[in-house]
Homo-oligomer: A and B are copies of this chain.
Amino acid sequence: MASGGPEIEQLIQLLARLPGLGPRSARRAVLQLIKKKQQLMIPLSAALDRAVEAVRTCEVCGNVDTQSPCAICADPRRSESGMLLVVEDVADLWALERAGVGAVKYHVLGGVLSPLDGVGPDDLAIEGLLARAPEFSEIVLAINATVEGQTTAHYITDRLGHGVTKITRLAHGVPVGGELDYLDEGTLSQALKARTAV
């Protein structure tokens, strides 16, 4: 297999481990990098070097940023709403930020409870959440609507204790732009139950 030296092979193998890329697309990516050495390969190399140096996990909320506490935790305007959004991972936090949900703060659990995968409460950032909760007037469980996600949400609700803080979850319903035809029965029945006046 003479596709160009150990340096190139190793680069292909590492890129193939990224989500969304397999061995074939990693090879195409490396060829693209080599073809656009000045415009893409060298800038990417430099950006990775900088990110390796700069990126850290926020010790308060678990977000990744170049500072800890992260920009969100350090922003005083984020406290005004009194809302703390509990998310599974950083990707969900970023998704909510892109959606522009407003001046809220976050807490990244780092996963969901999954006895089959050996993930228990101690593997998630639940103690940190319990410690932060009293600072907020509302805890929004923005956890994925999967079985494990809902189990985790129940567990957290129990641990937080009722009455201490207002605990809410994201609404279920028809996605904006979604077609009813393609939705599962669970979503449709929830959407009907939670119907609103027009």
**B20 and A20 contacting across the interface, CB-CB below 8 Å:** yes
Q: Give Cα A64 to B4, complex, Å.
A: 6
Q: Give Cα A30 to B50, complex, Å.
A: 13
Asked whether A152 is an interface residue with its Cβ less than 8 Å from the other chain, the reply is no
What's the minimum C-beta distance from A31 to chain B, rounded to whole angstroms? 5
- Residues of chain B within 8 A (CB-CB) of A33 are 18, 48, 51
**A98 and B65 contacting across the interface, CB-CB below 8 Å:** no
Q: Which of B14, B28, B41 contacts A52 (CB 8 A)?
A: B41
Say which one of A5-13, A125-133, A173-181 lies at the interface with B.
A5-13
**B3 and A15 contacting across the interface, CB-CB below 8 Å:** no
Q: Give Cα A27 to B90, complex, Å.
A: 10
Asked whether A54 is an interface residue with its Cβ less than 8 Å from the other chain, the reply is yes
- Residues of chain B within 8 A (CB-CB) of A3 are 93-94, 97-98
Chain A residues in the interface with B (C-beta under 8 A): 1-8, 10-11, 14-15, 17-21, 25, 27-34, 37, 40-45, 47-52, 54-55, 63-67, 70-72, 89-91, 93-94, 97-98
What's the minimum C-beta distance from A73 to chain B, rounded to whole angstroms? 10
**A67 and B19 contacting across the interface, CB-CB below 8 Å:** no
Q: Which of B28, B48, B66 contacts A48 (CB 8 A)?
A: B48
**B97 and A31 contacting across the interface, CB-CB below 8 Å:** no
**B5 and A44 contacting across the interface, CB-CB below 8 Å:** no
**B14 and A72 contacting across the interface, CB-CB below 8 Å:** no
Q: Give Cα A13 to B118, complex, Å.
A: 35
In chain B, what residue has the closest Cβ to A14? B44
**B64 and A31 contacting across the interface, CB-CB below 8 Å:** yes
What would 21 A/B residue contacts be, using CB atoms closer than 8 Å? A2-B72, A3-B97, A4-B63, A4-B66, A5-B65, A7-B51, A7-B54, A8-B51, A8-B64, A17-B40, A18-B29, A19-B28, A19-B32, A21-B21, A21-B29, A31-B64, A31-B90, A37-B52, A41-B52, A42-B52, A45-B51
